[in-house]
Amino acid sequence: MRHEKNHQRHREHEDEDPEPTPVGGQRRDKLNEDTEATLDEIDDILEGNAEDFVRSYVQKGGE
């Protein structure tokens, strides 16, 4: 019986949508900015020396 009550309470809480916290939103925005900056840096590197970049990933000696 105790297990059933706990299970029912768990279901009640599943239906509730947690509201995003301002701190979580700020963190997400910061991560998005960092990701965009990293992708921009990668694009810049690839534009400058894409051939060298690809060569660095070519397997040598059949590895």
Q: So where are the chain's domains?
A: 21-46
3-class DSSP assignment, residue 53: helix
Each of the 63 residues of the chain gets a pLDDT tens digit; together they read 555 555 565 555 555 666 656 778 899 999 999 999 999 998 888 888 888 877 777 766 655
Side chain identity at residue 63, one-letter code: E
3-class DSSP assignment, residue 63: coil
pTM of the predicted model, to two decimals? 0.45
